[in-house]
Amino acid sequence: QVQLVESGGGLVQAGGSLRLSCSASGRTFRSFNMGWFRQAPGKEREFVAAISWSGGSTWYADSVKGRFTISRDNAKNTVYLQMNSLKPEDTAVYYCNAEVVAQRGFGSWGQGTQVTVSS
């Protein structure tokens, strides 16, 4: 079982940037696609971005493409989400997952980190 801890959320004005981090522990980190998801109030959790175990492939939701960048550092067991040009509709709790397949998370979830974008 892998344990995940997300961090880096906060309050930012529209157009600003944030960098989220997700630290993993508990088992081999390298073998799976990692990903980020988000859940806004009253909405279901949705896929945001994913990265292959090697870092060579990335996938993004259309709503964040061109603004968000996912990356990973296997030596640090950490995956990142750089978020630029933030919009109020990006406001949500952001979660990472250690087993992402076809934009769905099959592994355990962390506690999430709140991102709030003011207009």
For residues 19 and 108, the model is more confident at 19
Tens of pLDDT, residues 20-33: 999 998 876 567 89
Cα–Cα dist 87/37, whole Å: 16
Cα–Cα dist 4/37, whole Å: 13
Tens of pLDDT, residues 63-113: 999 999 999 998 898 999 999 999 999 999 999 998 899 999 998 898 999
Would you say 115 and 39 are in contact if contact means Cβ atoms under 8 Å apart?
A: no
User: Quick one: pLDDT at residue 80?
Assistant: 97
DSSP label at residue 98: S
Q: Which of 70, 56, 119 is nearest to 90 (CA)?
A: 119
SS3 107: coil
Q: Which of 110, 108, 105, 116 is nearest to 44 (CA)?
A: 105
- The mean pLDDT of 1-7, rounded to a whole number, is 90
Tens of pLDDT, residues 28-61: 656 789 999 999 999 999 999 999 989 999 999 9
